[in-house]
């Protein structure tokens, strides 16, 4: 089975938004063994939509369309699909109830436009969109499948995960695909590739390796495709075991796990609590930690000490050491870590102080200079790092580096 | 003149990279009055490339291709184009010198693969790529134009700016395009559309309107296309003025400005400072505010009070009112706002306390219940909002709602 993706929306064709949906869908289809043949972006135009579907069905078995399902007049995907598949639009009662509930919970009544979102062609299977008002739709015709999803990325992803991928997986019966994703932190791509050369060269030819870099980590994905019966799982498992021996401390987890989730697990495992004191990261570390459901079990809070006065008054940093060494220094970041650990009564504390930029750099401490400290009941560790000249990158990298330092210390002190 | 964009590369079809080039090119073509008809991503395959060019030339006058110009064997765009336009590959002397210079400057010699990068079809105009080794190529045939550019984003952008856009602009002598983007917050798309019905119905037919929703705002884009001489700028300006009269308090800015940037400007304008006290948003508000360069001028810091102890000890919230009303309540969030404003000595303070989920909800206070307070030197305002059942969405929406509440109060108290 081969898929084609069609993205609908004038906003893509005028370059106002980047189409991230297609990459997300393509990656997830590939993971279940469905290759993507082509990705097409077209305007909110009936003829363009119809023509693209015709074209897509020539070479593909599955067409996934995103976008054009909003309540306003420029959104015409639903009516066009209804016409294409010769259906009739009718209110879908469960969707209407769902839409009503959403608006009620916001204290709003149902308008005629909202009501229209619950209308669907009677010739499709409705895919319930728990995260929004526009339902997904699944059409089948002459052995071909067309799936229509909303363009809002998190709604699209929710529908793909909950409805589309499980259904498509069931259709693929004669093929086995095994994927393992290993999350690494701390080595740039070229260094990691060099360290892995020997391991990579001995990989069995059924096993393919991909480097997937992000601003904060490099994921290594091992994939093996084959006919049912081939023991691909053990094959991949064996290679992963070897990989752990080559770069043990650089691997922080597997699958889609994040550094903050790994830290959460380690803290819970050791019944330990955490606080943070943040200057240049401005709350980004606390924000990442608290994105994890249940983080209130171990995370007590953070003091974002953007001004020196806050460092002194809330964290008890001695004004003299700020005057003497500057706010971006070993002594200040260590005092911040000790201060927040004590004030918030936690077992561990992270502190960060740096120059995110674009202003504030000097010859000795250029933009990108960041001090990170980790305080525990047993130790106080700090480190200076030079990142880039870009503010956003400096915040992201400081945050990830601090979380990884805590991870290594948590492992070191608790095993 | 109409353009189509073709992106070549297997890495896009497996979702390994997001195609940002197309949005960049589309935006810049639109700005000079060339609409983009379609964007297509295909694999590094000769037949796919040839077929896509044939298809593109049916509806478009200009085809811009990115990708597939690297030195390795999987890059076949150049040889395919050479065959398509019936040319002969020959060394282009200025390109060879340029490539040699680049490798010399890196202390490297020229390999046979590098030499091949200086080979170009003799039937094209060579566009010199100052930022890399693969040259751009400009083909013309029967009144149609095909431009081939490298896929590396900054090399593509350099060639577009220096070579492609100036040449295309010269070809367009009779057309004008005007775009304006208005950022709104606080009305769901369907409500906004209803409020704008009358205004939308009276828009001149040269002016097109698009709704561009994101999790935190809805952008309204007005676009006008017409012949040179038509005063489209004034036409759009007039409609924007009317729009401000219809939804004055829902518009927070124009173009790509963010809520946190608008707040930064308002605070600087009024020489005022800000602090935040965050429970369920966990530092997300401070993080957004400090993403803005220069935010240290007005932002003093935040207390992320995830545990009640921190609310009591660092923000001075009375334990009795937490016991009596719960942490997610009007009295607690107001005490948090007053507390952080006082401790951090700021003119304004934001406080948020809510149940982000997935756990912690009750019948009276289900997941998604959030209290937000804004304290100023003149007032203390608070509001309860019910968001969704999704943790990530609740954090994002609470954050944006709090920033917008502060924006409205800043305007109200300072004009």
B199 burial via Cβ count (<10 Å: 0-12, 13-18, 19+) = middle
End-to-end CA distance of chain B: 48
Could you say which DSSP state residue B70 is in? S
Evaluate the omega torsion of the peptide bond into residue A17 and state whether it is cis, within 30 degrees of 0.
Answer: no
Separation between Cα atoms, residue B80 and residue B69, nearest integer Å: 11
Are residues B22 and B28 in contact, defined by beta-carbon separation less than 8 angstroms?
no
- How many residues appear in chain A? 415
Residue A415 is predicted with a pLDDT of 67
Are residues B62 and B36 in contact, defined by beta-carbon separation less than 8 angstroms?
no
Residue A109 is predicted with a pLDDT of 80
Separation between Cα atoms, residue A149 and residue A129, nearest integer Å: 9
Backbone angles phi, psi at B308, to 5 degrees: -65, -35
- Of the pLDDT bands very low, low, confident and very high (cuts 50, 70, 90), residue B381 is very high
B288 burial via Cβ count (<10 Å: 0-12, 13-18, 19+) = buried
Q: Class of the A259-414 domain?
A: alpha beta
Strands (E), A128-245: 136-141, 144-149, 175-184, 207-213, 218-227
Separation between Cα atoms, residue A8 and residue B375, nearest integer Å: 44
Separation between Cα atoms, residue A61 and residue B229, nearest integer Å: 49
Tokens of residue A373, six digits: 């400290």
* Among the ranges given (A354-363, B225-234, B314-323), the one the predictor scored with the smallest mean pLDDT: B225-234
Give the three-class secondary structure for A297.
helix
Q: CB contact, 8 Å: A43 with chain B?
A: yes
Q: CB contact, 8 Å: B12 with chain A?
A: yes
Separation between Cα atoms, residue B52 and residue B41, nearest integer Å: 9
Separation between Cα atoms, residue B82 and residue A17, nearest integer Å: 33
Kind and range of the H or E run holding B107: none
**Closest residue of chain A to B395, computed from CA coordinates:** A291
Residues of B in Cβ contact (< 8 Å) with A358? 293
Q: Which residue has the tokens 């049912």?
A: A228
Q: CB contact, 8 Å: A110 with chain B?
A: no
* Among the ranges given (A275-284, B114-123, B205-214, B369-378), the one the predictor scored with the smallest mean pLDDT: B205-214
Chain B residues 261-290 with CB within 8 Å of chain A: 276, 278, 281-287, 289-290
Q: CB contact, 8 Å: B201 with chain A?
A: no
Determine how β-strand A274-278 pairs with β-strand A299-305. parallel
Neighbours of B222 (CB within 10 A): 20
| CA pseudo-torsion sign B38, B43, B49, B51 | negative
- Of the pLDDT bands very low, low, confident and very high (cuts 50, 70, 90), residue A190 is confident
Asked if residue B199 has pLDDT above 90, the reply is yes
Rg (C-alpha) for chain A, rounded Å, is 26
CATH number of this structure's domain A3-171, picked from the four choices 3.40.50.1240, 3.10.20.520, 3.40.50.2030, 3.40.980.10: 3.40.980.10
Separation between Cα atoms, residue B250 and residue B184, nearest integer Å: 5
pLDDT tens column, A5-52: 999 998 899 888 899 999 999 999 988 889 999 999 999 999 999 999
As a whole number of angstroms, the longest Cα–Cα distance in chain B is: 85
Tokens of residue A162, six digits: 């909950």
Chain A interface disruption, residue of B32, B181, B209, B283, most A CBs within 10 A: B283
Average pLDDT for chain B:
93
Strands ordered across the beta sheet of B175-184: B207-213, B218-227, B175-184, B251-254
Could you say which DSSP state residue A359 is in? S
Closest partner residue to B16 among A113, A212, A307, by Cβ? A212
Are residues A131 and A102 in contact, defined by beta-carbon separation less than 8 angstroms?
no
Separation between Cα atoms, residue A161 and residue A150, nearest integer Å: 14
- Distances A188 to A111, A255, B67, B308 between C-alpha atoms, Å: 53, 20, 24, 41
Separation between Cα atoms, residue B243 and residue B190, nearest integer Å: 16
Residue B315 is predicted with a pLDDT of 97
**Closest residue of chain B to A12, computed from CA coordinates:** B23
Q: Tell me which long-range contacts A157-164 makes (C-beta under 8 A, separation of at least 24).
A: A157/A24, A158/A129, A158/A130, A158/A131, A159/A127, A159/A129, A160/A24, A160/A25, A160/A28, A162/A130, A163/A127, A163/A128, A163/A136, A163/A138, A164/A64, A164/A127, A164/A136, A164/A138
Residue A209 is predicted with a pLDDT of 87
Helical pair A391-414 and A259-269, crossing angle rounded to 10 deg: 30
pLDDT tens column, B236-247: 999 999 999 999
Q: CB contact, 8 Å: B187 with chain A?
A: no
Helical pair A308-315 and A330-343, crossing angle rounded to 10 deg: 40
Domain ranges, ordered by start, for chain B: 3-171, 175-254, 259-414
pLDDT tens column, B53-70: 999 999 999 999 999 887
- Of the pLDDT bands very low, low, confident and very high (cuts 50, 70, 90), residue B172 is confident
Are residues B389 and A101 in contact, defined by beta-carbon separation less than 8 angstroms?
no
Separation between Cα atoms, residue B412 and residue B248, nearest integer Å: 13
Asked if residue A114 has pLDDT above 90, the reply is no
Determine how β-strand B207-213 pairs with β-strand B348-354. unpaired
- How many residues appear in chain B? 415
- Of the pLDDT bands very low, low, confident and very high (cuts 50, 70, 90), residue A309 is very high
> What was the ipTM of the complex prediction?
0.80
Query: What integer is the mean pLDDT of A182-192?
Result: 87
Residues of B in Cβ contact (< 8 Å) with A11? 210, 212, 221
Query: What integer is the mean pLDDT of A110-127?
Result: 90
- Of the pLDDT bands very low, low, confident and very high (cuts 50, 70, 90), residue B415 is low
Helical pair B330-343 and B308-315, crossing angle rounded to 10 deg: 40
- Distances B388 to A201, B306, B375, B392 between C-alpha atoms, Å: 49, 20, 26, 9
Residue B113 is predicted with a pLDDT of 75
**Closest residue of chain B to A24, computed from CA coordinates:** B15
Asked if residue B228 has pLDDT above 80, the reply is no
CB-hemisphere CA count at 13 Å for B287? 26
Residues 6+ apart with CB under 8 A from B284: A283, A287, A290, B278, B395, B396, B398, B399
Q: CB contact, 8 Å: B35 with chain A?
A: yes
Asked if residue B206 has pLDDT above 80, the reply is yes
Chain A residues 361-400 with CB within 8 Å of chain B: 391-392, 395
Residues of A in Cβ contact (< 8 Å) with B37? 13, 43
Residues 6+ apart with CB under 8 A from B161: none
Residue A226 is predicted with a pLDDT of 82
Residue B208 is predicted with a pLDDT of 86
Give domain B175-254's CATH architecture. Answer: 2-Layer Sandwich (3.30)
- Distances A109 to A94, B186, B191 between C-alpha atoms, Å: 17, 15, 10
Give the three-class secondary structure for A152.
coil
Chain A interface disruption, residue of B14, B190, B260, B401, most A CBs within 10 A: B190
Neighbours of A104 (CB within 10 A): 12
Separation between Cα atoms, residue A248 and residue A254, nearest integer Å: 13
Separation between Cα atoms, residue B141 and residue A342, nearest integer Å: 74
Are residues A97 and A135 in contact, defined by beta-carbon separation less than 8 angstroms?
no
Give the three-class secondary structure for A188.
coil
Give the three-class secondary structure for A356.
coil
Residue B377 is predicted with a pLDDT of 97
CB contact under 8 A, B386 and A106: yes
Give the percent of chain B with pLDDT over 90. 76
Are residues B250 and B187 in contact, defined by beta-carbon separation less than 8 angstroms?
yes
CB contact under 8 A, A72 and B211: yes
Query: What integer is the mean pLDDT of B389-403?
Result: 95
A292–chain B nearest CA distance, Å: 9
Asked if residue B105 has pLDDT above 90, the reply is no
Helical pair B391-414 and B259-269, crossing angle rounded to 10 deg: 30
DSSP B135-197: PEEEEEETTEEEEEE-SSHHHHHHHIIIIIHHHHHHH--SEEEEEEEEEE-SS-HHHHHHHTH
Torsion of CA A121, A123, A125, A129, to 10 degrees: -10
Separation between Cα atoms, residue A295 and residue B367, nearest integer Å: 15
Separation between Cα atoms, residue A385 and residue A100, nearest integer Å: 52
Kind and range of the H or E run holding B133: none
Asked if residue A324 has pLDDT above 90, the reply is yes
CB contact under 8 A, B26 and A13: yes
Residue B386 is predicted with a pLDDT of 93
Determine how β-strand B274-278 pairs with β-strand B299-305. parallel
Asked if residue B257 has pLDDT above 70, the reply is yes
Give the percent of chain A with pLDDT over 90. 75
Query: What integer is the mean pLDDT of A330-348?
Result: 98
Give the three-class secondary structure for A245.
helix
């Amino acid at each position: 089975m081969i898929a084609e993706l069609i993205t609908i929306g004038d906003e893509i064709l005028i370059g106002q938004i980047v189409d991230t949906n297609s990459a997300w869908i393509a990656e997830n289809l590939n993971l279940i063994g469905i290759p993507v043949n082509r990705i097409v972006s077209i305007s909110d135009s009936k003829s363009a939509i119809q023509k693209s579907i015709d074209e897509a069905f020539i070479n593909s078995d599955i067409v996934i369309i995103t976008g054009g399902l909003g309540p306003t007049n420029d959104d015409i995907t639903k009516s066009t699909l209804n016409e294409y598949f010769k259906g009739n639009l009718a209110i879908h009662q469960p969707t209407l109830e769902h839409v009503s509930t959403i608006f009620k919970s916001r204290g709003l009544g149902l308008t005629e436009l909202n009501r229209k979102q619950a209308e669907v062609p009677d010739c499709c299977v409705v895919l319930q969109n728990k995260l929004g008002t526009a339902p997904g739709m699944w059409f089948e015709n002459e052995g071909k499948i067309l799936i229509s999803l909303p363009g809002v990325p998190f709604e699209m992803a929710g529908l793909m995960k909950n409805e589309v991928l499980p259904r498509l997986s069931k259709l693929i019966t004669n093929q086995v695909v095994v994927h393992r994703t290993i999350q690494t932190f701390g080595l740039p791509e070229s260094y990691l590739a060099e360290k892995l050369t020997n391991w990579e060269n001995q990989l069995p030819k059924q096993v393919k390796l991909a480097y997937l870099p992000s601003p904060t980590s490099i994921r290594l994905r091992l994939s093996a495709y084959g006919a049912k019966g081939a023991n691909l799982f053990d094959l991949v498992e064996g290679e992963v075991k070897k990989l752990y021996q080559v770069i043990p401390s650089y691997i922080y987890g597997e699958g889609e796990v994040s550094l903050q989730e790994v830290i959460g697990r380690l803290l819970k495992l050791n019944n330990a609590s955490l606080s943070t004191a943040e200057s240049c990261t401005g709350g980004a570390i606390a924000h990442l930690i608290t994105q994890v459901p249940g983080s209130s079990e171990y995370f007590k809070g953070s003091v974002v000490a953007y001004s020196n006065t806050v460092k002194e008054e809330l964290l008890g940093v001695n004004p003299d050491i700020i005057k003497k060494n500057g706010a971006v220094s070993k002594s200040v970041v260590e005092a911040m870590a000790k201060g927040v650990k004590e004030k918030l009564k936690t077992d561990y504390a992270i502190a960060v102080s740096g120059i995110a930029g674009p202003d504030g750099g000097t010859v000795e401490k250029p933009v990108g200079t960041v001090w990170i400290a980790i305080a525990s009941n047993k130790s106080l560790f700090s480190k200076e790092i030079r990142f880039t000249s870009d503010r956003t990158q400096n915040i992201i990298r400081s945050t990830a580096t601090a979380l990884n330092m805590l991870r290594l210390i948590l492992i070191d002190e608790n095993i």
